A = this chain, B = another copy of it.
Amino acid sequence: MDFHLVHNWKGKVKIGGKYLGKEKIFIAGPCSIESREQAMIIAKEVKKSGASAFRGGVFKPRTSPYSFQGLGKAGLKILADVREKTGLPIVTEVMDTRDVKLVSECADVLQIGARNMQNFSLLKEAGKSDSAILLKRGLSATIEEWLLSAEYILKEGNCNVILCERGIRTFEKYTRNTFDVSAIAVAKTLTKLPVIGDPSHAAGRKDIIIPLSKAALAAGADGLMIEVHNDPENALSDKEQALTPQDFAWLMKEVKG
């Protein structure tokens, strides 16, 4: 199985290409955008600690239709403001082919979530966008399937693809998913695309985010995506795993030290 190699693309965010391997990227922010105030506080804090980009969900894929579904379009406006005020590039998820254009206007990187890794219509639409695409690995996807999903985007002409490992589903109960560090090492032998890790979603608990972050980077990851919330106890989603801005500052010191 041969995969396309991407040597020298230039995205709005400088992640891959000639930058690859020189500087690690750190994407940080809350699972969901809850308010302008919350977003702004977190963005300023993570920037101070050295984050390269701000992430925050406004279209939220939730297992149950009765859970909080995100702020939607109102959230996009907040993201645009965060970008303007902080200068941080924005990473946010898009779930619907019909929203790709709209989200692209406020975001630098469109995230395609684990559940949509084989939503081929969405992948093709993302391939037609000029935004960079962060492609999460499906929670039981093989590495080959993950790379072939990236291929759907590349085939449309968009080579700004960042691969993101976010945990696989296993039988283990002490963590939400099993963070598959090995997949990062394997993917780096198969593709020139940047590969980052998201230990927050994988672990589902905050006390092991730092060792998992170090492990991902040690295995060759080009960066990390970390959930940060100013008030984790009262977060509308994923509160068990969100770091406080202080925790995140500590993490940054640890992984850079």
Contact = CB atoms under 8 A, between A and B. Distances in A.
Nearest to A61: B120
Copies of this polypeptide in the complex: 4
A24 to B, nearest CB: 14
Interface in A237-251: none
A145 interface: yes
A97 interface: yes
Interface in A133-191: 139-140, 142-145, 148-149, 151-152, 155, 168-175, 178-186, 188-189
Nearest to A67: B148
A122 B220 CA distance: 36
Contacts of A189: 207-208
B144 A174 contact: yes
Interface of A: 61-66, 95-98, 115-116, 118-122, 139-140, 142-145, 148-149, 151-152, 155, 168-175, 178-186, 188-189, 202-203, 207-208, 211-212, 214-220
Contacts of A152: 65
What is the interface of chain A mostly: helix, strand, loop, or mixed?
helix
Contacts of A149: 63
Nearest to A122: B119
A151 B174 CA distance: 18
B173 A171 contact: no
Contact of A219 (B96, B115, B142, B211): B211
Contact of A145 (B63, B96, B217, B218): B63
